[in-house]
Amino acid sequence: MTPAPTVPVEGAYPGAGGPRPAHAKPATAFFKGEYGGEDTALIITPSGNIGCDLSPDFSGCGVDSWMESGLYMDPREGSLWWVYFDEGKKPTVGHRGDAPLYMWNTPKPQVVNYGEAIYYKNDVCASEQNGLTCWDTKTGRGALLNKSGYKAF
């Protein structure tokens, strides 16, 4: 009997932090890298509240409701609404001064419906009603993001 996948933090997608789920589909919306650089996969949740830019060099996700609510605040930088996924490190929340590529709508980001998972290179994101769980299959690091906050692992 195969054991049930583990959950790295409460509420995260089962098996997050591990290998890519068998049902995960490849990302389909990309911002083309300039000057021969790597492409960036663009995804968004069905609610439109969470979106991500996923690339081999830089990955991160933004939560729009955090910008509006000020859930995470810095006295100097204001609302902290972007979760940085730096390779090998625990994800952290921070300020982002420019608009992420998924907000440009050129091309439109891929909607990851609830119950679906997508991948690009080592990054996997699984969308569920309670939030979006993204992780790096190489390092196992990731986070669950939703309107209530984030839980890094």
Can you spell out the DSSP letters for 65-125?
Answer: HHHHHTSSEETTTEE--EEEE-TTS--EEE---S--GGGG-SSPPEE--TT-EEEETTEEE
Q: Please tell me the distance from the alpha carbon of residue 13 to that of residue 77, in angstroms, as a whole number.
A: 31
User: Which residues, at least 6 apart from 60, have a Cβ–Cβ distance to it below 8 Å?
Assistant: 52, 53, 82, 83, 84, 85, 96, 100
> Would you say 67 and 57 are in contact if contact means Cβ atoms under 8 Å apart?
no
pLDDT tens string for the chain (153 positions)?
A: 555 667 889 999 999 999 999 999 999 999 998 877 899 999 999 999 999 999 998 899 999 999 999 999 999 989 999 999 987 889 999 999 899 999 998 899 999 999 999 999 999 999 999 999 999 999 999 999 999 999 999
Q: Measuring CA to CA, which residue among 113, 111, 135 is closest to residue 123?
A: 135
The kind and range of the H/E element at 41 are: strand 40-44
The residues spanned by each domain of the chain are 25-152
Q: How far, in Å, are 73, 80, 91, 130, 152 from residue 77 at the CA level?
A: 8, 8, 19, 28, 22
pTM: 0.93
